[in-house]
A and B are shown apart, each in its own frame.
Chain A
Amino acid sequence: MAVVEASPGPLLLLDGDLQVVAVSGSFLDAFGIDADTARGRPLASLGGGEWASPKLRSLLQATRSGAATIAAYEMDLERSGQPARQLVIHAQRLDYLDLENVRLLVAIADVTDARADEAARALAMRENLVLLQEVRHRVANSLQIIASVLLQNARKSGSTETRGHLKDAHHRVMSIAALERLLAGSGEDRVELHAYFTELCGSIAASMIADPDLLSLVVEGGRGVVDSRVSVSLGLIVTELVINALKHAFPDNHRGKIVVACDFRGANWTLTVTDDGVGLPTDPALVRTGLGTSIVQALAQQLQATVEITSANPGVCVSIDHTHIALVDSAPAPPSLTGRAAQSK
């Protein structure tokens, strides 16, 4: 009895007639019941009769007979002049050698405030999500305007080189804009890469491939989901490598194909951009480094990935490889980017 009375959580010990044998001080405090009016009285008569629930009585009787156990019975406690409380009740029959004196131990948890907090948190999360989507929507709109300005500047420029730079910048902005649109639509902070790359490459192809019958740009694999922070970097890398291949791999209406692929192996992944174009320049003097190269190098480093360029016979394959296990054991090797991919400016 002393254990029950000292319990920090509301606790009742009932006899076989569902009369109170012992009650915890926490129960009396929580439900506004006078100690003197509780002990020896039927549970149903406690307080203003709010415990006289037929369903509770029926469940307690079933527990007493051993036919059932109340694991988590939920009930609303209605008291005159007070807001209802949401309770979760657990009851256990205590078996003694004295079979004549059945005892039931009843634990009551008042989950009203916890449920209200939970509902408030869920509401706040929903509101935050709506707010986040609205922010992303506005960011995407702003990026659309920036991309439009870059395109207008490119049109007005008299310099072919400047025009090229501005169009490249336009593609970079659009790669991030496309991602923002996907994020705004998904309601999550993760992106399915195949859909993203397909959209991205579709836009680049529409603006840079003059004859789709001659030159194709396809996306393979990539059936994986990554965080938005990773996907924005991967999108920019794909943009740079695809633009670079379109500019340099297929001179003089060379027929060909560019394949963007992403292969997932658990936490590890490999992004490859492969073309079947003219391949790496044989003259080292033709190898130059530019903004595109710097962007790929920097983003690969940020992603803790390595960059490898190999001959695809014909053409070139650029691999961006992220090996999570290697990162735990040792620092990643600094990415090296040489060859044709370094020609972009």
Chain B
Amino acid sequence: MTGYERDARGQGASTLLIVEDEILAAMALRDELEDAGYRVMDLTGRWQEALAAVKDCKPDLALVNIRLHGRDDGIVLAEDLKAQGIPVLFISGQESRARSAQTAAIGSLPKPYSVADMVVAVAYLLAHLKGDDSLPRPATLEVFDHEANGTPRAA
């Protein structure tokens, strides 16, 4: 168990939602995050399934790819999740799109990411949401901080 994994376990099994159209990437991510002590909801790559899933269980953080199955769009999903009070981390290689939609998310860890970096990023963001910025932060994690009115603020 790494130091970061202990950090995650120490937070008391936060729940995560992964919305990713590449099932193999999603599975690797899920396994690593579960090893780190998080509870990961059933994997999905679709907008409708993701919204249906959060009706039953509200995750502490949703990891959302911008490109989803069919014509589903991760940015639209992020806006819908945000409306329900669920923070979103973009996990997409489309960095410029993620940045342009930063009011819908709290950060972006662009592909290709290492799953180890993702574990560190998730621990950091969950602590960051509680006002604690003391945990390590991956160099590739971009954090979108917002003013009270929802407009982006330089992190």
Chain A residues within 8 Å of B, Cβ to Cβ: 137, 140-141, 143-145, 147-149, 151-152, 155, 174, 177-178, 180-181, 184-185, 195, 198-199, 202-203, 206-213
- Interface residues, chain B, CB within 8 Å of chain A? 1-4, 22, 24-25, 27-29, 31-32, 93-95, 110-117, 119-120, 136, 138-140
Rounded to whole angstroms, the CA-CA distance of A170 and B24 in the bound complex is 14
Let me know if A152 and B114 touch, CB within 8 A.
no
Partner of B111, one of A181, A208, A212: A181
Residues of B within 8 A of A144 (CB): 22, 25, 93, 111-113
Q: How far is the CA of A209 from the CA of B119 in the complex (A)?
A: 13
Q: Which of A140, A148, A178, A198 contacts B28 (CB 8 A)?
A: A148
In the complex, which residue of chain A has the Cβ closest to the Cβ of B121? A206
Out of B2, B24, B114, B139, which one reaches A210, CB within 8 Å? B2
Q: Knowing A151-B28, A206-B4 touch, does A143 contact B117 (C-beta < 8 A)?
A: no
In the complex, number of A-B residue pairs with CB atoms less than 8 Å apart: 88
Q: How many angstroms between the C-alpha atoms of A209 and B136 in the bound complex? A: 13
Return chain A residues, CB-CB under 8 Å to B117.
Answer: 202-203, 206
Contacts of B4 in A (CB 8 A): 206
**Which residues does chain B contribute within 8 Å of A202, judged by CB atoms?**
117, 138-140
- Closest beta carbon of chain B to A199's beta carbon, Å: 5
Q: A147-B112, A202-B117 are in contact. List 10 more A-B contacts (CB 8 A).
A: A144-B93, A145-B22, A148-B27, A155-B31, A174-B112, A178-B112, A181-B93, A181-B112, A199-B140, A207-B114
User: CA–CA, A210 to B110, complex, Å?
Assistant: 24
Pick the contact of B112 from A141, A152, A207 — CB < 8 Å? Answer: A141
Asked if B31 and A152 sit within 8 Å, CB to CB, the answer is yes
Residues of B within 8 A of A208 (CB): 116
Q: Do A141 and B136 form a contact, CB below 8 Å, given A148-B27, A203-B117, A210-B1?
A: no
A145 to B94, CA, bound (A): 16
Supposing A145-B24, A203-B114 touch, asked if A151 and B32 sit within 8 A by C-beta, the answer is yes
Contacts of A140 in B (CB 8 A): 93, 111-112
Known contacts A148-B27, A202-B140; A184 and B93 CB within 8 A of each other: yes
Min CB–CB distance B107 → chain A (angstroms): 16
Q: How far is the CB of B112 from chain A (nearest CB, A)?
A: 4
Closest beta carbon of chain A to B27's beta carbon, Å: 6
Chain B residues whose C-beta falls within 8 Å of the C-beta of A155 in the assembled complex: 31
Kindly list chain B residues whose C-beta atoms are within 8 Å of the C-beta of A184.
93
Instruction: List chain A residues, Cβ under 8 A from B111.
Output: 140-141, 144, 181
Q: Give min CB distance, B35 to chain A, whole Å.
A: 9
Closest approach, in angstroms, between the C-beta of B130 and any C-beta of chain A?
Answer: 21
A151–B118 Cα gap in the complex (Å)?
A: 14
Return the 8 tightest CB-CB contacts between A and B, nearest first. A207-B116, A177-B112, A148-B28, A206-B116, A203-B114, A144-B112, A148-B25, A140-B112
- A211 near B22: Cβ-Cβ < 8 Å: no
A174 vs B111: C-alpha distance when bound (angstroms): 10
Complex-state Cα separation, A177 to B93, whole angstroms: 11
CB distance from B30 to the nearest CB of A (A): 10
Q: Are B139 and A199 in contact (CB under 8 A)?
A: yes
Alpha-carbon distance A145/B23, docked complex (angstroms): 9
Q: With a CB–CB cut-off of 8 A, which chain A residues contact B27?
A: 148, 152
**B contact residues around A145 at 8 Å (CB):** 22, 24-25
| Chain A, Cβ-Cβ closest to B2 | A210
**Residue of chain B at shortest CB distance from A155:** B31
Contacts of B3 in A (CB 8 A): 209-213
Complex Cα gap A184–B3 (Å) = 32
Q: Which residues of A contact B94 (CB under 8 A)?
A: 137
How many Å from the CB of B25 to the closest CB on chain A?
5
Of the candidates B22, B24, B110, the one whose C-beta lies within 8 Å of that of A181 is B110
Which residues of A are found within 8 Å of B140, using beta-carbon distances?
Answer: 181, 199, 202
- In the complex formed, the residue of A with least CB distance to B31 is A155
A143-B112 contact given A206-B120, A212-B136, CB 8 Å threshold: yes
Q: In the bound complex, what is the Cα–Cα distance between A237 and B27 (angstroms)?
A: 29
Residues of B within 8 A of A151 (CB): 28, 31-32, 115
